[in-house]
Amino acid sequence: MKKLVIAAAMSTLSTMPAVHAADYVIDTQGAHAFIQFKVSHLGYSWLHGRFNTFSGNFSYDDKNLAASKISLEIETKSVDSNHAERDKHLRSADFLNVDKHGKASFVSTKVVPKDGANFDVVGNFTLNGVTKEITIAAAKTGEGKDPWGGYRAGFEGKTSINLSDYGIKNILGPASETVQLDLVVEGIRQ
């Protein structure tokens, strides 16, 4: 289904003070980032899945959180619900239509600070050739030096989308209209 849960989560390995206005690349090589989804199956159970291939970057400034930004690109054909036949159907024109729309993307337009480590990331999510504004409820999970001499920052976020908003009509009843998205992002400072 449509994943792209956007938001981001990264683990930290130390308590070093934050560096301001830094650029990060999302660590997908080390499998320290995840885009996962959950959708109701007929209202009886939950179908869970993820996108295995994506990339992105973000800029983070702890002293001026509103100046932060994130950009993600997802290969829709990498959808993985742990069931080959279902994944084939999810890739078809009934859902993700990967032959025509092989990429989904999210580009933030603003970051709105809230309380503590929480903030909202507002931006444009493109799926199935349709772009809509979404808001991701996000939180910083930590930042600091890693054991390899680098510096990392981590975030997580949650949002939901309605499939029909993205031109997907093959929905298995009202309970299956909304897809919940979760994003965990760990970035390596550049």
Model confidence pLDDT, tens digit, residues 13-36? 333 444 467 999 999 988 899 999
The answer to whether the CB of 151 falls within 8 A of the CB of 145 is yes
Here the tokens at position 45 are 């159970």
Sheet strands (E) in 30-93: 34-41, 45-51, 54-60, 69-75, 79-80
Where are the chain's structural domains?
A: 22-189
pTM: 0.86
| Contacts with 46 (C-beta within 8 Å, 6 or more apart), sequence order | 38, 39, 40
The Cα angle at residue 77 between residues 171 and 71, in degrees rounded to 5: 95
Phi, psi (5° rounding) for residue 72?
A: -130, 145
Q: Measure the CA–CA gap between 125 and 132, rounded to whole angstroms.
A: 5
- Can you give the pLDDT at residue 173? 76
Q: Measure the CA–CA gap between 136 and 74, rounded to whole angstroms.
A: 16
Cross-strand bridge partners of residue 106: 72, 125
Q: Measure the CA–CA gap between 6 and 122, rounded to whole angstroms.
A: 10
Q: Measure the CA–CA gap between 44 and 15, rounded to whole angstroms.
A: 44
How is residue 91 annotated by DSSP?
Answer: H
Model confidence pLDDT, tens digit, residues 139-188? 999 999 999 999 999 999 999 999 999 999 888 778 889 999 999 999 99
Q: How much is the mean pLDDT over the chain?
A: 89
pLDDT at 9 over 90: no
pLDDT at 3 over 80: no
3-state helix, strand, coil in the chain (%, to 5): 10, 50, 40
Q: Measure the CA–CA gap between 188 and 190, rounded to whole angstroms.
A: 6
- Can you give the pLDDT at residue 171? 80
Q: Measure the CA–CA gap between 190 and 32, rounded to whole angstroms.
A: 16
Here the tokens at position 91 are 């890739």
Model confidence pLDDT, tens digit, residues 56-101? 999 999 899 999 999 999 999 999 999 999 999 999 999 999 999 9
The answer to whether the CB of 178 falls within 8 A of the CB of 153 is no
Q: How many C-alpha atoms does 168 have within 13 Å on its Cβ side?
A: 29
Candidates 2.40.128.110, 3.30.70.1230, 2.30.29.30, 3.30.43.10; CATH matching 22-189: 2.40.128.110
